[in-house]
Amino acid sequence: MTDAAQEVAASLSAPSPTLDPKYFYDERGSALFDAITRTPEYYPTRTEAALLAEHADAMASELPGDLVIAEPGAGGCDKVRLLLDRWRPSGYMPLEISRQCLLDATRELAPRYPSVRFSAVCADYSQALSFPADDLGPARLVFFPGSTIGNFEPTARADFLAGLRRLAGDHGYLLIGADLQKDPARLNAAYNDARGHTAAFNRNALHHLNRRLNCGFDPDAFEHRAFYNESARRIEMHLECRRDQTISVADQRIQLPAGTRIHTENSYKFTVEGFSRELVDAGFAPLSSWVDEEGLFSIHLARA
Ligand code: AVI
Query: What are the tens digits of pLDDT across the range 39-63?
Result: 999 999 999 999 999 999 999 999 9
The answer, yes or no, to whether any atom of ligand 1 lies below 6 A from the CB of 198, is: yes
**How much is the pTM?**
0.96
CA-CA distance, 172 to 202, in Å (whole number)?
36
Q: Which atom of ligand 1 is nearest to the CA of 146?
A: 3
The answer, yes or no, to whether any atom of ligand 1 lies below 6 A from the CB of 202, is: no
The answer, yes or no, to whether any atom of ligand 1 lies below 6 A from the CB of 276, is: no
Each as own residue / partner, the long-range contacts of residues 103-111 (CB below 8 Å, 24 or more positions apart, any chain) are 104/76, 105/74, 105/75, 105/76, 105/77, 106/77, 109/77, 109/81, 109/84
Probe target for ligand 1 pocket from 179, 193, 236, 265, with the most ligand atoms within 8 Å of CB: 265
The answer, yes or no, to whether any atom of ligand 1 lies below 6 A from the CB of 150, is: yes
- Indicate if the pLDDT at residue 101 is higher than 90: no
Angle at 133 between CA 128 and CA 167, to 5 degrees: 40
Q: How far is the CA of 244 from the centre of ligand 1 (A)?
A: 28
Other CB atoms within a 10 A radius of the CB of residue 2 amount to: 10
Mean pLDDT confidence for 200-220: 97
Tell me which residue of 61, 13, 41, 86 sits closest to 187, measured CA to CA: 41
Q: What is the pLDDT of residues 235-249, one digit of tens each?
A: 999 999 999 999 999
Residues constituting the chain: 304
**For residue 190, how far is the Cα from the chain centroid?**
16
CA-CA distance, 211 to 208, in Å (whole number)?
5
Give percent above pLDDT 70 in the chain.
Answer: 100
Q: Which residues of 47-65 are buried (b: 16+ CB within 10 A; e: fewer)?
A: bbbebbeebeeebbeebee
DSSP assigned state of 18:
B
User: Which segment of 9-23, 73-87, 127-141, 284-298 scores lowest on mean pLDDT?
Assistant: 127-141
DSSP-derived secondary structure for 79-98: THHHHHHHH--SEEEEEES-
Q: Name the residue at shortest CA distance from atom 6 of ligand 1.
A: 267
Q: How far is the CA of 267 from the centre of ligand 1 (A)?
A: 7
- Indicate if the pLDDT at residue 92 is higher than 70: yes
Pairing of strands 297-303, 285-291: antiparallel
In this prediction, residue 51 carries a pLDDT of 98
- Indicate if the pLDDT at residue 76 is higher than 90: no
235 strand-pairing partners: 228, 267
**For residue 52, how far is the Cα from the chain centroid?**
17
Which backbone phi and psi does 126 adopt, to 5 degrees? -65, -40
Q: How confident is the model at residue 174 (pLDDT cuts 50, 70, 90)?
A: very high
CA-CA distance, 17 to 247, in Å (whole number)?
13
Tell me which residue of 134, 123, 110 sits closest to 72, measured CA to CA: 123
Answer with the residue of higher pLDDT: 101 or 278. 278
Among positive and negative, which fits the CA dihedral 48, 51, 57, 60? negative
Q: How far is the CA of 64 from the centre of ligand 1 (A)?
A: 32
| Alpha helix segments (H runs only) across 23-153 | 27-37, 44-60, 80-87, 99-109, 125-128
SS3 259: coil
